[in-house]
Amino acid sequence: MSDFLRTFWSTLSSLIHRLGQRSFPDSCLRGIPGENDLLEDGLVATSVFLFTDNHKKASGVYEQSINWHDDDLAISLTLNQTRRNGELQFKGGVAVMKRSRIDSLSKLPLFKNSLSYERQPHLRNRYHGNLLLEPGFSKPLRKAMAATLATHVSRTISQP
Amino acid sequence: MNDEYTSTSGSSSVSPPLETKFTVPLEQIDATVGGTAPFARKVGSHITENARRETARIPDRVVAQEANEVLAAIERTAQYLALSGQEIQNLPPVMLFAQEDGSVTIEWPSVDYRLGFTIEANPDESGWYLTTSERLGEAGSYGYLSQIDVRFLAYLLVNFIVANS
**What is the predicted ipTM?**
0.83
Long-range contacts of A153-156 (CB under 8 A, 24+ apart): A153/A30, A153/A43, A153/A44, A153/A95, A153/A96, A153/A97, A154/A27, A154/A96, A154/A97, A154/A98, A154/A101, A155/A42, A155/A95, A155/A96, A156/A32, A156/A38, A156/A42, A156/A43, A156/A44, A156/A93, A156/A94, A156/A95, A156/A96
Interface of A with B in 58-117 (CB under 8 A): 104-105, 108-110
Whole-structure pTM value: 0.81
Residues in chain A with CB shorter than 8 Å from the CB of B111 are 41, 43
Confidence of residue A7 (pLDDT cuts 50, 70, 90): confident
Q: Which of A46, A104, A148 lies at the smallest CB-CB distance from B140?
A: A148
pLDDT tens, B86-97?
Answer: 888 888 899 999
User: For residue B46, what pLDDT is reported?
Assistant: 87
CB contact under 8 A, A109 and B7: yes
Chain A residue at shortest CA distance from B107: A46
Q: What span, in angstroms and rounded, lies between the C-alpha atoms of B22 and B31? A: 15
pLDDT tens-digit readout, A32-76: 999 999 998 899 999 999 999 989 999 999 999 999 999 999 999
B-chain residues near A47 (CB < 8 A): 97, 99, 105
Shortest Cα–Cα distance, A148 to chain B (Å): 6
Using an 8 Å CB-CB cutoff, list chain B residues near A109: 6-10, 12, 140
Is residue B21 predicted with pLDDT exceeding 60? no
Query: What digits encode the pLDDT tens for the residues A98-138?
Result: 999 999 999 999 999 999 999 999 888 999 999 999 999 99
Q: What is the pLDDT of residue B6?
A: 40
Q: Which of A52, A108, A147 sits opposite B129 (nearest CB)?
A: A147
Chain B neighbors of A148, CB-CB under 8 A: 114, 131, 140
> Which pLDDT band, with edges at 50, 70 and 90, does B165 fall under?
confident
> pLDDT by residue (tens digit) across B117-164?
999 999 999 999 999 999 999 999 999 999 999 999 999 999 998 888
Confidence bin at B40 (pLDDT 50/70/90): very low
pLDDT at A13: 64
Per-residue pLDDT tens digits for A151-160:
999 999 999 9
pLDDT at A82 over 60: yes
pLDDT for residue A16 = 63
